[in-house]
Amino acid sequence: MKDTTEAAQPGDALALRARGLTKRYGSGPAAVTAVDHLDLDIAPGELTAIMGPSGSGKTTLVHLLAGLDSPDEGRVWVGDDELTGISDAALARVRGRVVGFVFQGFNLLQTMSARDNIMLPLRLNALPTDKKWLDTLVDMLGIGSELARKPYELSGGQQQRVAIARALITEPRVVLADEPTGNLDVHASAQILSHLRASCRELGQSVVMVTHDPTAASYASKVLLFADGQVAGHIDNPSREAVLAGLDALAKVER
C-alpha cells in the first residue's frame, strides 16, 4: 500500500478525510480503477451529496470511506480515527463507534421491534444507552408511535426513519447513506431528506449521501460530481437546476 505522508492530527475539525485513496479491480489491460488517488475532506455538520454516472465509482468510494472495503492505496480517517491499515477487529470496533449507515433497502431485522433495531448498534458495540439522545432522535424523526412495531408493519418511509435513528444512535462522526430514498415515493423521500438535513443543522451530524436524484441532491450543503474515480467538480448550496446543469456539463466532458 502506498504510504501517504500526510496524517490526521489530533483535534482535526474534519469529520472525514481521505488521502490518495485508490481502488482497482482486475489486472492487466482489463483492469478498472474505480477510485483514483482521491483526496477528500468532509466538514462537520454538513450534508454532502455524491453524484455521477453509473460506473463512476460512487458506491466503491462509500465502501472505502466506511471501511467496508480496503483500498489498494491511500488512507481514510473519520475524525481522529484511521480506518486503513488496522486489524479487522480494530476496524470493527472503530467503525462501530464513528460511522453510521443508511441503506436504500433499510436493512432492518424483521423479527425485532423498531426500538430494538435502533438499539442494535449499541448492543453490538457494547455501548451504553443514552436515553436522552434516544428520545431526541425519536422526537426529531417522529417515530414514537412506531417503536413497538415490527418493520413489516411500517411503511417504507417509517422504516427509513427507523434506519436513520439506528445510524445516529451511537452518535457517529459521519453517516454514510447509499441511495437512502431510492425505494421511496416522492412524499416519503422529501421527509427523509428533510430529516437528514435536520440531523446536520440541529444535531451537528455529518452525512455523506450517494444519490442519482437531482432533487435529493438539492437538500445537501454541497454536491460532489464524481467521474472516472475522481471528484470532477462541486456545487455549493445546490439547487435542482444547478445539479442538472452540473451533470449535463459532466456528461459533455465525458463524451
The grid coordinates listed for 47 are: 450534508
Averaged pLDDT, 164-179: 94
The DSSP output letter for 113 is -
Contact predicate 104/183, CB 8 Å: yes
Please give the residue that has the higher pLDDT: either 126 or 4: 126
Number of other residues whose CB lies within 10 A of the CB of residue 132: 8
In the predicted structure, residue 1 carries a pLDDT above the cut 50: no
Residue 248 is predicted with a pLDDT of 85
What band does 52 get if pLDDT is binned at 50, 70 and 90?
confident
Closest Cα partner for 72 from 216, 205, 229? 229
Averaged pLDDT, 123-135: 93
Residue 11 is predicted with a pLDDT of 40
Closest Cα partner for 167 from 226, 200, 119? 119
> 140: buried, middle or exposed (CB in 10 Å: 19+, 13-18, 0-12)?
middle
What band does 255 get if pLDDT is binned at 50, 70 and 90?
low
In the predicted structure, residue 202 carries a pLDDT above the cut 50: yes
In the predicted structure, residue 102 carries a pLDDT above the cut 50: yes
Residue 138 is predicted with a pLDDT of 95
Residue 9 is predicted with a pLDDT of 42
**97 vs 92: CA distance, rounded Å:** 9
Residue 55 is predicted with a pLDDT of 78
% of the chain residues with pLDDT over 90: 68
